[in-house]
Structure 1
Amino acid sequence: ATMAADEGSALVSVAIVELDVNGDVLVAWSYPGVDDEYENVIIERSRLKDAAAPPTAFSRHKNQWHYWATLASGLPSAQLAKVHALSVHVASSAYNPERFGSLASTLARAYLATGEPTKVLEGYLQAFTTGKTPGWAAAEHEAKRALVANTALAVLPKVFGPEVVLIWNAMMLKKRVLVFCERVDDLLPVVRALPQLVWHRQDWGILRPIVTGSDAELADLADAGVYVAGVTSPELRSRPDLWDIFVDVAGRSIEVAEAAKSDFQMGPFHRDVAGVLVGAANAAGANAMSVIKAIAVKTKELTTQIKGIGDGASVSVADIRAKGLPEATQRFVYAVAVAEGCAK
């Protein structure tokens, strides 16, 4: 298979969600058929009753990414007389919001123009088999680029100041992070930035960029154990059993859950990291990549030091105690070792 076809073959399913004249939101059509749980999740997340639904968005449920495009202007139309808004959802095993968001938009426009699900199927199958369909080509959206595109990383240290280190600490120690921002367009770039703080892990699978708080989604979070979840309503703030830190973007505040406080005691290394993040973000020409590099160097320094307390490859509680470090530092060092898989 060609590279382009491989890039299309990460596709899993496509579904059309509609808001009808009676105010009901339902999955009108899907291929190759999707289960009830996924149906309910995409109906909730599509927010078709919300006039401010963004043109494209993405999230993840269990082990699948899903990307969707929403259209409301020009509806109802001659082709779709009973439809007030629609979204096309593309599920994929691959993380690439630009690639699959633009595919969802292309398919949504084809459906709006014709009112024919067969047109959506045709475009989807072309994308799946060849990596191309009129108006879209997988190759135009590099997978590597998706890891740094449309991210707020260079802005976060300016928004939160030195407190931004709390987010780094949460990511480093594999804690549960909830990010709150009312506008999806502002929320997604923040959620996308967080795995960049632990670039060496290359783990985007922990993201649940948009979560509405339904039972199925909360069960998925519990199964995941470690996650960065985005919410557009503040109600989950009152559920500290679901998060270790709560990041309020518009409020420029970061709250640490009572139960997690012992893992968020700030020591000298945290002050250094805060300085690196704020310095990198304020440097001339700062962008996501320059901040990623600056923090990656600092993180590597930390993990190397920690392994060095042990035998260079792993470290035990006894090794750390023997160093005579302050209690909070000992806790932090061991917690990093556990998260990095080098504790023994």
Structure 2
Amino acid sequence: MVLLCKDFNPEKYSVLCQLFGKQYLQTGSAAAMLERYLSVLTRGTCNSDENGKFSVNDYGAKEAYAKSQIKEIIQTFGVETILIYTAILLKKRIAVYVPPHSLKLLLDYTRSIPALAWHRQNWNIVHSYVQLTDEEIENLQAHPHYVAGFTEAAVEGRDDLYDIFINVPNSQIIIASHAKESMSMGKLHKDIALLMVAKAEEEGLSDIDIIKEIAAKTQELLNNLKSLGTVDETSGKPSLTLETLKERKMPPATENFLFSLAASEGFVKL
């Protein structure tokens, strides 16, 4: 059984697949399974004496987004987590490698990384499990940025597929040569990196607590960025130019990062 969906909510669809599967095993009828599906589609609920009750209201999108392993990721990569944070903010292509026997870990990592840009609430960029076949690679490359998971070690040599490569078993992050300039680090990055590490080490903080702390820091960064620009009279949105940033005489790495971030957030007129 294959269930196609347009939203990101693994827990919701896992329960649905189990419910439909049990229904089919009990009845041997695809029509009975379809009946349950149509009930969920039209009413948002599905009741079964044998298999229990299902309601889409029990599976909110934000709850799915918040099921993250951010704390583990930060503890694994330490201050280098800032590379992942920077890459996701700048809408880079991120490849994550985990061996085939650790597929669940791969799924956990790929679903967690977009939480570093919580303000976007965009999990459409996640391609949890990609194989190095022509068809799947062609589909992946049709997207300008993504978080893609792989179980084939050979992907490390395919730097045409990524800007940063995350080797989970080796706790290693590699920046592709073509992306090194745009991924230059400065004091701003160091401060954020130290904040993330400190929060990950703080006892009693959950993954969602850490996500909120990072989100608050990101929002502070975006507010400061907006304050450097002007408001576009036509769109009413913040507008920022490279010349404006240069007037501030910032360190090159900070200037480059802020302008790239402004472009990623739609603050730059093209």
TM-score after normalising by structure 2:
0.89
> CA separation of 1:180/1:112 partners in 2, compared to 1, >3 Å: closer, same or farther?
farther
Opposite residue 200 of structure 1, the aligned amino acid is H
Q: Secondary structure at the match of 1:228?
A: strand
Q: Secondary structure at the match of 2:66?
A: coil
For 1:18-167, list aligned pairs within 5 A.
88-133=1-46, 134=48, 135=51, 136-137=53-54, 138-149=56-67, 151-167=68-84
Greater helix proportion: 2
Task: Give 1:282 shift.
Answer: 1.2
Task: Give 1:326 shift.
Answer: 2.0
Distance in 2, Cα, partners of 1:174 & 1:115: 46
Instruction: Please give the per-residue CA displacement for 1:139-192, whole angstroms capped at 9, x wherever unaligned.
Output: 33233211112x211111100010000000000100000111122211111111
Distance in 2, Cα, partners of 1:342 & 1:92: 32
Instruction: Please give the per-residue CA displacement for 1:99-139, whole angstroms capped at 9, x wherever unaligned.
Output: 11110122223334454433432332232233233235123
What does residue 96 of structure 2 align with? 179
Distance in 2, Cα, partners of 1:178 & 1:194: 11
In the alignment, which of 215, 234, 239 is matched to residue 314 of structure 1? 239
Greater strand proportion: 1
What does residue 5 of structure 1 align with? none
Q: Secondary structure at the match of 2:230?
A: coil
Opposite residue 330 of structure 1, the aligned amino acid is E
Task: Give 1:195 shift.
Answer: 1.2
Q: Secondary structure at the match of 1:161?
A: helix
Please tell me whether residue 225 in structure 1 is matched to residue 144 in structure 2. yes
Distance in 1, Cα, partners of 2:157 & 2:31: 45
In the alignment, which of 193, 196, 207 is matched to residue 112 of structure 2? 193
What does residue 303 of structure 1 align with? 222
C-alpha RMSD of the superposition: 1.7
Instruction: Please give the per-residue CA displacement for 1:15-60, whole angstroms capped at 9, x wherever unaligned.
Output: xxxxxxxxxxxxxxxxxxxxxxxxxxxxxxxxxxxxxxxxxxxxxx
Q: Which piece of structure 1 moves more, 211-220 or 240-249?
A: 211-220
In the alignment, which of 203, 215, 221 is matched to residue 284 of structure 1? 203
Distance in 2, Cα, partners of 1:269 & 1:247: 22
8 A Cα contact 2:132 2:152, kept in partner: no
TM-score after normalising by structure 1:
0.70
Distance in 1, Cα, partners of 2:169 & 2:27: 40
Distance in 2, Cα, partners of 1:184 & 1:91: 20
**Percent identity over the alignment?**
34
8 A Cα contact 2:8 2:123, kept in partner: yes
Distance in 2, Cα, partners of 1:324 & 1:147: 38
Distance in 2, Cα, partners of 1:105 & 1:214: 29
Please tell me whether residue 246 in structure 1 is matched to residue 159 in structure 2. no
Q: Secondary structure at the match of 2:169?
A: coil
In the alignment, which of 84, 87, 94 is matched to residue 170 of structure 1? 87
What residue ranges of structure 2 are gaps of 5+ in the alignment? 232-237
Q: Which piece of structure 1 moves more, 284-293 or 269-278?
A: 284-293
Task: Give 1:300 shift.
Answer: 1.6
Instruction: Please give the per-residue CA displacement for 1:211-265, whole angstroms capped at 9, x wherever unaligned.
Output: 1233332222222111011112222211100100111112111111011011111
Whose relative contact order is higher, 1 or 2, with alpha carbons under 8 Å and at least 6 apart? 2
What does residue 235 of structure 2 align with? none
> CA separation of 1:185/1:120 partners in 2, compared to 1, >3 Å: closer, same or farther?
same
Q: Secondary structure at the match of 1:241?
A: coil
Opposite residue 170 of structure 2, the aligned amino acid is G
Distance in 2, Cα, partners of 1:184 & 1:132: 31
In the alignment, which of 326, 329, 338 is matched to residue 251 of structure 2? 326
